Homo-oligomer: A and B are copies of this chain.
């Protein structure tokens, strides 16, 4: 049932574009979902893609444009005039339209807006552009169905039919007062069963979840997930109803946020994709690698200060990557768990309890690993017991330290209002490498003496 894009189909489309066989092209594409057409355009050359966009009516291509990759969309839009872009935008919901307009360069942006014929639509887009794109204001659409609490049921029905024309999915009917302040919501069932002489104020439900235009997207996502909402109204500072956010926009947001956190943890900034250019990928990856390189320099200096050990206990140096790797792994584990707890707001209990728990956990894990290390080292690598004990005790200490750093650095950053995801990945592994090596050699010096 699902459309499956194939090499043959793409080649057929390319052939038809080359022949300028518009009739066959339209036949091939008219029944496809806009998301599928976007997939096809992703595979075509820029010229071919632009040809198809211009051929299809803007009621269809408006949706296709929204589904395109941001980079591809930018290129396609560059091939269209401001008037052509404005025609696409006329067909879009205000939230999508504002997203597209926000991507345009300042001078084109102004030209495009001036070409939008529906003045209310243009006003709405300009209003949405004012908000931060990750806030409720930046995520909301202006399209919604609302009724005045002072209307009668009969008047309400005809008003609603008109409003519903502009709204793809109704989800909820919101109730406002004469000053457009959000008062509650109306259930369609209650509306249909109420006597036609009744007033809206008699039948509406005065409990409704809402968010403010400045509420952060993450918080909107949390509320909508917690209360299983499919749409949530957005009010401004004066409590006036100014828009609504639907769950499909939030699904994208949740996925993007989860990907961003994971990428940060992997040492990648800017939300790149595998198909971005070498230059974009470098910009996202190189800074983190330079940070790790600087950390590497510090670890070189630390090791240099212990070079007196090299004469008597050369084997200590063979265990450096093992100790560093354990420190890095434990740190990443601890920080990932805390980070997800912070993101879900599921971290409970006091800092002291968390401290005790992390120490217990790493004592236990560290003990098991140290026993394995000592046993393995004596059996496989022929180490003497004293040396094994030194490495084992170091390992426990390094694991405890790494888990504490991994746990508390994100918590402290979060309390300071800094994104705790910054503290995962390269940052945690690098600082744990350095601390780990320092602890390891300090303990070795104490026990073995050199």
Contacts and interface: CB of A to CB of B under 8 A. Distances in A.
A263 interface: yes
A337 B272 contact: yes
B247 A380 contact: no
Interface stretch (A52-60, A126-134, A343-351): A343-351
Interface string A290-314: 1011011101110110010010001
A336 B262 contact: yes
A347 B295 CA distance: 33
Interface string A316-346: 0111111111101110110111101100101
Contacts of A33: 227
B322 A314 contact: no
Contacts of A267: 329, 332-333
B230 A169 contact: yes
B317 A437 contact: no
A433 interface: yes
A424 B318 CA distance: 25
A191 interface: no
A174 interface: no
A117 interface: no
A30 interface: no
Contacts of A299: 321-322, 325
A108 interface: no
A268 B403 CA distance: 14
A19 interface: no
A4 B263 CA distance: 32
Contact of A348 (B42, B429, B430): B42
Contacts of A262: 258, 261-262, 265, 336, 340
B317 A303 contact: yes
Given A266-B333, A289-B329, 16 more contacts: A33-B227, A169-B230, A224-B251, A258-B258, A274-B337, A278-B364, A281-B337, A289-B365, A290-B372, A293-B369, A299-B325, A300-B321, A300-B381, A301-B381, A307-B318, A310-B310
7 smallest beta-carbon distances between A and B, as pairs: A296-B322, A258-B258, A266-B336, A274-B341, A303-B318, A299-B321, A262-B262
